[in-house]
């Protein structure tokens, strides 16, 4: 992963736009590295993004997320679509390249020039999604991807965060994993726009479907809202995958027609702006090399001469000057 800080950003953006995979990769690296060029990259990408349908793919380990993603890429390619894949691994401290891993995971598509595959580690607070993930999405979007699949590698809370980045969230289940209960526990039931029971050739697929249907029926839905479909696949043998793509398309159409797409994306942009603003403030407050106003206030709190709320007011007042 290069850490050079000079680059012909407009040239890279133009080449990425025309389908040059190396330029796409280079732009994502600039974003991930929080390069000084980050702002230039983002400013140039802004008018180009917004065309991609972002589909989040979540599910417990063992349900076949990688295989399903791979099969979905194949189905989307059969429709002639340009596809981006962003695999986010919250458990990995390493980001960027992961090229070998990408090639192994997605070997069917690694050489297809219309498929961009990228792994990212999560570097966010408490194992949350990387702050860089939304920016990487924007790169893939601006590069002309029709669909971007965002897949969590690993487990946990970041699944809910994936959903917050996606237009459409696909929740994968499999028979015989007690998934129904697990999904309910993890709050996954609320986030799914469609549910796919993979490994549907195994015993218990209908039980999972029935349980899931029952749980979904419990939730109240306002009139005209999306009716979450439950589909079955055997991703390994490519069975049922085209139907999943159809359902994904149908959901996008629903989002467009209902105005929900604009609402979701505005919410996402809000969160993104807010997170960047907060990070920027923290950097100003928290320069660990200098003795900052915050350090002085912290010592006063420890000494009991002020309290943390009064100190926070003072910190904000200092900043506003």
For a copy of itself, the binding residues (CB under 8 A) are 38-39, 42-43, 45-50, 126-128, 134-135, 157, 160-161, 262, 265-267, 269-270, 272-274, 276-278, 280-282, 285-286, 294-295, 297-299, 301-313, 315-316, 319-320
Shortest distance (Å) from residue 277 CB to a copy of itself: 4
C-alpha 170: how far from chain center: 12
Shortest distance (Å) from residue 51 CB to a copy of itself: 10
- The smaller minimum CB distance to a copy of itself, of residues 229 and 306, is found at 306
- The smaller minimum CB distance to a copy of itself, of residues 70 and 158, is found at 158
Shortest distance (Å) from residue 200 CB to a copy of itself: 32
Query: Pick from 54, 50, 79, 56: which is nearest to 194 by CA?
Result: 56
Query: Pick from 249, 229, 89: which is nearest to 167 by CA?
Result: 249
Shortest distance (Å) from residue 290 CB to a copy of itself: 13
- The smaller minimum CB distance to a copy of itself, of residues 99 and 278, is found at 278
- The smaller minimum CB distance to a copy of itself, of residues 21 and 49, is found at 49
- The smaller minimum CB distance to a copy of itself, of residues 29 and 135, is found at 135
Which tokens hold the place of 46? 């802004």
Residue 229 phi, psi dihedral angles, 5° rounding? -80, 150
- The smaller minimum CB distance to a copy of itself, of residues 126 and 217, is found at 126
Shortest distance (Å) from residue 263 CB to a copy of itself: 10
Q: What is the SS3 assignment for 128?
A: coil
Which whole-number Å values give the CA distances from 31 to 8, 150, 169, 309, in the listed order? 14, 17, 24, 35
Rg over CA atoms, the chain: 22
Shortest distance (Å) from residue 47 CB to a copy of itself: 4
Which tokens hold the place of 63? 């349900």
CA–CA dist 4, 33 (Å, integer): 10
Query: Pick from 85, 90, 83, 13: which is nearest to 45 by CA?
Result: 13
């Amino acid at each position: 992963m290069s850490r050079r800080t000079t680059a012909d950003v407009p040239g890279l953006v133009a080449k990425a736009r025309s389908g040059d995979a190396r330029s796409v990769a280079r732009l994502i690296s600039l974003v991930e590295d929080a390069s000084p060029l980050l702002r230039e990259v983002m400013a140039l990408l802004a008018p180009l993004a917004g065309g991609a349908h972002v589909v989040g793919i979540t599910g417990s380990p063992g349900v076949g997320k990688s295989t399903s993603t791979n099969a979905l890429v194949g189905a989307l390619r059969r429709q002639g679509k340009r596809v981006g894949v962003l695999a986010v691994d919250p458990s990995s401290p390493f980001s960027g390249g992961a090229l070998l891993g990408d090639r192994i995971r997605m070997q069917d598509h690694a050489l297809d020039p219309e498929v961009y595959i990228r792994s990212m580690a999560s570097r966010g607070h408490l194992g949350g999604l990387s702050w860089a993930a939304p920016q990487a999405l924007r790169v893939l979007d601006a590069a002309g991807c029709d669909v971007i699949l965002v897949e969590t590698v690993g487990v946990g809370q970041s699944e809910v965060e994936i959903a917050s980045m996606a237009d459409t969230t696909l929740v994968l289940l499999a028979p015989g994993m007690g998934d129904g209960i697990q999904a309910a526990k993890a709050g996954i039931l609320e986030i799914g726009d469609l549910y796919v029971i993979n490994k549907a050739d195994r015993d218990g697929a209908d039980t999972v479907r029935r349980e899931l249907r029952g749980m979904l029926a419990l939730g109240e839905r306002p009139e005209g809202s999306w009716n979450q479909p439950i589909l079955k696949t055997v991703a390994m043998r490519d069975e049922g995958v085209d139907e999943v793509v159809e359902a994904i398309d149908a959901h996008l159409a629903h989002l467009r027609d209902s105005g929900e797409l604009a609402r979701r994306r505005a919410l996402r942009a809000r969160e993104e702006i807010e997170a960047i603003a907060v990070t920027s403030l923290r950097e100003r407050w928290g320069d660990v090399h200098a003795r900052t106003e915050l350090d002085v206030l912290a010592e006063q709190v420890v000494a009991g001469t002020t309290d943390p709320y009064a100190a926070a007011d003072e910190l904000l007042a200092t900043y506003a000057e």
